[in-house]
Amino acid sequence: MPPSGNSSRSRSRGTDSVDDITSGAPGSGFPVLEEGQSPVLEITYRVSMLILNKTAGVFSKPSKRKVYEFLRSFNIYPGTLFLHKLVLGIETSCDDTAAAVVDETGNVLGEAMHSQTEVHLKTGGIIPPVAQQLHRENIQRIVQEALSVSRISPSELSAIATTIKPGLALSLGVGLSFSLQLVDQLKKPFIPIHHMEAHALTIRLTNKVEFPFLVLLISGGHCLLALVRGVSDFLLLGKSLDIAPGDMLDKVARRLSLIRHPECSTMSGGKAIEHLAKQGNRFHFDIKPPMQRAKNCDFSFSGLQHVIDKTIMQKEKEEGIEKGQILSSAADIAAAVQHTTACHLAKRTHRAILFCKQRNLLSQSNAVLVVSGGVASNLYIRKALEIVTNATQCTLLCPPPRLCTDNGIMIAWNGIERLRAGLGILHNIEGVRYEPKCPLGVDISKEVGEAAIKVPRLKMKI
């Protein structure tokens, strides 16, 4: 979630191909280059004119627009010379209404997003009917914005991809019913998207990463470790047995009343904890990481949350302040909870790497760990994971922060990945339903636990 609160943004990423597409024929939505802009285009244009003139009875006097339409039918695209597949991605699984258009090569033609963070911060958490109403109010505008920033007409889309699982039922429903109407109107294929699959594959948009790779997804709603063997081929190694780390950090931030802190009032809970932790001393509180004896890759954060709750209560007594006021030790508590969270995530991830290497599921010399989800934008946690990847000769990769949190780009990119792989492209949308709960891949977490791999101690000097 961007720190800007309940706000909207739209942008076109300045990719060469997008910047090159300058002036569209008015109202057509088609990008058209000036004649003579480049010798290659000039020749292409003139050859097309010739071919068109020779195509008896098709066009009497071909306009530039007709020429370009003709070119595009042969995959020749003015400005890029090739017409790539284009996917519109729509995301409404939680509290962000987001849309984007992405092409086959990973160029983001345009995106738009409306974040509900500010509203939910005020109510102390997401109230599903409120989220639903805000999605309803914004979805049409956001999709329209993403398309217009992209300077494409909807008819040029190859498919529409939308998150249908997992997530808040009421939120998923808004995105799905809007998308199905659009699919019906435009007669385009529909690609249903698993939100976590999209988070996991985002790295392939920004980096050249081959399958298989390991992924740690950590956000407000999810916490899992999986081996990604293909676009829709996942082995689940471990997951949170209770709440997700982002949820825990949000609860701690709320309990510390960080919304009243002048420096944190517009930040999500996790971001506020990271910000405040920089001013604190983690050694003032000794909070043990959970599940130290369980030799698996599962996680747990609710015990940690209760321990911190108790600590806060005790400190409030000591400092003689009421619940709702900010403790003088808030920064120290933030530093301690962040450190314990980082250690817990690092330990389980370390075991997952060792398990995968032991079973030859990952390359011995060139293994990649991808970390994504809102919590992955935390630099302290990234450093802890870097200690693990350095010790195991792995490469740590994280998408840029704005692609770690929920966005439309990852959904559109997942659509492109599925189009390329020919997986899950629906031409008939009858019976498509959203699924609030949906596991990712094949769960082998029991097998991981049975392997009982002992993880060597690492010094977490961050």
Q: Which residues of this protein are in contact with ligand KG4, per CB under 6 A?
A: 1, 94, 219-221, 246-247, 249-250, 268-271, 274, 373-375, 377-378, 405-406
* Residue 373 CB, nearest approach to Zn ion (Å): 6
What tokens were used for 101?
């258009």
Select 103 or 406, whichever has its Cβ closest to Zn ion: 406
Q: What are the structure tokens assigned to 287, written together?
A: 């909070």
* ∠ Cα 361 365 369 (to 5°): 60
Q: Which helix (H) or strand (E) holds 172?
A: helix 169-186
Q: What is the DSSP letter of 324?
A: T
In single-letter form, the type of residue at position 152 comes to I
Shortest distance in whole angstroms from residue 267 CB to ligand KG4: 8
**Residue ranges in contact with Zn ion by CB under 5 A:** 219, 406
Q: Which is nearer to ligand KG4, 3 or 106 (CB)?
A: 3
Q: How far is CA 375 from the centre of its chain?
A: 11
List the structure tokens of 291: 């599940």
C-alpha–C-alpha distance, residues 72 and 147, integer Å: 19
Residues constituting the chain: 462
Nearer to ligand KG4, 80 or 340 (CB): 340
**Please, which residue, 276 or 409, has the CB nearer to Zn ion?**
409
CB of residue 312 vs ligand KG4: minimum separation in angstroms?
A: 18
Residue closer to ligand KG4, measured from CB, 238 or 269: 269
Which position has the token pair 């899992």? 224
Which CB sits closer to ligand KG4, 221 or 280? Answer: 221
**CA distances (Å), 407 to each of 18, 291, 345, in order?**
20, 32, 24
116 binds, among ligand KG4, Zn ion, none (CB under 5 to 8 A by kind): none
Helix (H) or strand (E) holding 90: strand 86-91
Token couple for 25: 């024929």
The SS3 assignment for 333 reads helix
If you ran DSSP here, which 8-state letter would residue 6 be given?
S
Least Cβ distance, residue 353 to ligand KG4 (angstroms):
22
CB of 155 to Zn ion, least distance (A): 30
Q: Is the peptide bond before 128 cis (omega within 30 degrees of 0)?
A: no
107 binds, among ligand KG4, Zn ion, none (CB under 5 to 8 A by kind): none
142 contacts 97 by C-beta, under 8 angstroms? yes
Which long-range CB contacts under 8 A does 247-251 form with residues at least 24 apart?
247/220, 247/221, 247/301, 248/301, 248/302, 248/304, 248/305, 248/341, 249/273, 249/337, 249/338, 249/341, 249/375, 250/125, 250/220, 251/305
- Rounded to a whole number of angstroms, the minimum distance from the CB of residue 276 to Zn ion is 23
Helix residue spans in 256-378 (DSSP H): 269-277, 302-319, 330-358
377 binds, among Zn ion, ligand KG4, none (CB under 5 to 8 A by kind): ligand KG4
Whole-angstrom Cα distance, residue 225 to residue 85?
Answer: 31
Q: Residue 164: in which H helix or E strand, if any?
A: strand 159-165
Using DSSP bridges, classify how beta strands 213-218 and 367-372 pair: parallel, antiparallel or unpaired: parallel
Sign of CA pseudo-dihedral 231, 237, 240, 246:
negative
Which of ligand KG4, Zn ion, none interacts with 161 (beta carbon under 5 to 8 A by kind)?
Answer: none
Closest CB 283 distance from Zn ion, rounded Å: 33
CA-nearest of 216, 213, 197, 248 to 372 is: 216
52 versus 168: smaller Cβ distance to Zn ion: 168
Residue 332 CB, shortest distance to ligand KG4, in Å, is: 17
Nearer to ligand KG4, 113 or 227 (CB): 113
- Minimum CB separation of residue 217 from Zn ion in Å reads 8
Between 250 and 386, CB nearer to ligand KG4 = 250
| CB of 126 closer than 8 Å to CB of 26 | no
- Which listed option, Zn ion, ligand KG4, none, makes contact with residue 332 (CB within 5 to 8 Å by class)? none
Q: Which is nearer to ligand KG4, 249 or 362 (CB)?
A: 249
Residue 3 CB, shortest distance to Zn ion, in Å, is 16
Residue 274's binding partner out of ligand KG4, Zn ion, none, with CB under 5 to 8 Å set by partner kind: ligand KG4
Q: Which is nearer to ligand KG4, 204 or 271 (CB)?
A: 271
CB of 423 to Zn ion, least distance (A): 21
269 binds, among Zn ion, ligand KG4, none (CB under 5 to 8 A by kind): ligand KG4
Nearest to 252 by CA among 309, 200, 293: 309
